[in-house]
Each structure stands twice: as C-alpha cells, then as structure tokens.
Amino acid sequence: MRWRIALAAAALAAGVAAAAGGLRAGGEAGDPVAALNEGNRLFRDGRLEEAAAAYEAGWDPASPHPTLAYNLGTTLHHLDRLPEAILWYRRAGDAAPDPWLEENLWLARRTLGSQVLPAGGVEGLISRHRQALRLAAAAVAWLVLGLLVALPRTPAWVLVLLAALAASLYAGAGLAERFGARPAVLLADCSTPAGDLPAGTEAWVRPLAGERYRIVARSADAVCPAPAVALIEPPP
C-alpha cells in the first residue's frame, strides 16, 4: 500500500511540474501598458526611434504582451529595420496569433526576400514539439494518479510502466528545452558553404561554444556568430 501512496505523490508532483514546465523566469522589465501608451504617443508624433525604444523597454519575455510586440514590429517596419520587424512579429504571433500580424509578416518577408528554414532531423523534430512532450508527460502522470484513485486494483506493472513513460517524456522535454534547437531570426547575413543566409532568415538554431549558433536545417549547414542571431523565445 505504501508504494501506491508514494507513486501517487510522485505522479501528482510530475503532473504539476510537467504542466508548469512552460513557465519561464524573465528579467526585469517596465510596465507593458505604460510602455505601450508611451510608444503609441511617440509613434503618433513621428518619433519612431524613440517609440521603438519605449516599446522594447516594456517587453517582458516571461509575460509577453502581444500588442506591444506587434506595435514594435510595425515601428521597426516603418524604419526599414525589417529583420528586427520579423523578429517582433514572430514574438507577437507566438503570444497571440492574428491575421493582420500574419499579413505584415508576409510583407516583411517578401520585401526582404527572406526564407523560413524548417528544423531538420530528429533534433529539429523534438525541438519543435517539446511543449507537446511536456503536455503528454503531464497527461500520463495524471492518468497514473487517476488509476491509483479510481481503480486501486490496477496491476502494479501497468502503473510502473505508465510512470516510466511519463518520466521519459518529461526528461525528453527537459533536455530539448535545455539543449535543443530554438526558433530564431538572423539579424545579419550568415555565410554557409552554399552561400549567404540573408538577414531576416527564420531558422532553428542550437547554441555552440564560443558565442556561436548552428543552424539546424536540412537545407543549410551554417555556424553564425551570436550577434547575428536573435532568439524568438527566451533561453531557459
């Protein structure tokens, strides 16, 4: 009986941890509403550089404000800083998808002639779906807990197998979060054996030693310096 209680406690803890795994700690940021209002005022006055700085000062990656990111992307678009505009449109879209945003993003991509590189290989597949792994881990952990409560005569081997599956999914998601590829936008051209990847290219990247990133894609084999790469999501 004791092992069932211990397994229930472990399943509960795993379910809560896996479900909350997507939350990230963020650095200090200003009040997003105040930053939005100030940026809007400066934008209306035609002071676009100052408006962009005001919007960015209010950005908190731990609590993304989609309108703030969208307005910053639009301001950068007006300033012809298109790679940065794409970055902020992507951040806004991750926070809250919007048809107008997608249209502006398409226009910026078309103007730059940039491309979106899908992540390649097993690493890319796992990186793209790491949040799904966390949710699956949470679902299996809660299933174990439910079986322990509702069907106490469930065979031990079934419970142990499900618990091991939940642990494996959670560990896989954690490894992908910590070491896997992350979506990014190139803010400067990056040379590859097949030619330059232009600024504005959207790709999945993995950090390397020496302040560099490797592009994780089937169609490109490139290592880019860190200043040329801007992560869409904050690092763990």
CATH of the domain at 84: 1.25.40.10
* Cα 15 → chain centroid: 21
136/205 same-domain check: no
Decide which of 137 and 69 is more confident: 69
In a domain, 15, yes or no: no
Identify whether residues 45 and 104 lie together within a single domain: yes
Is the residue at 9 inside a domain? no
Average per-residue pLDDT for the chain: 79
Most trustworthy range by pLDDT among 6-10, 18-22, 42-46, 112-116: 42-46
222 or 27: which leads in pLDDT: 222
The model's pTM is 0.71
Reduce the DSSP state of residue 60 to 3 states and report it.
Answer: coil
110-167 pLDDT tens trace = 998 888 887 655 555 555 666 676 777 777 777 777 777 777 777 877 878 888 887 7
Question: How does pLDDT run across 81-112, given as a tens digit for each residue?
Answer: 999 999 999 999 988 888 888 899 999 999 98
State whether 152 and 142 are in the same domain.
yes
Domain count of the fold of the chain: 3
- The reported pLDDT for the residue numbered 27 is 43
Residue 5 vs residue 153, higher pLDDT: 153
CA distances, 136 to each of 19, 48, 100, 147, 168 (Å): 9, 44, 32, 16, 10
Alpha carbons 112 and 199: distance in angstroms, whole number: 8
126/100 same-domain check:
no
Q: Rounded to whole angstroms, how far apart are CA atoms 89 and 93?
A: 6
Q: In terms of residue numbers, what domain contains 43?
A: 32-60+65-112
pLDDT above 90: residue 29:
no
Within a domain: 2: no
Q: Is the pLDDT assigned to residue 205 strictly greater than 50?
A: yes
Question: Are residues 52 and 77 both part of a single domain?
Answer: yes
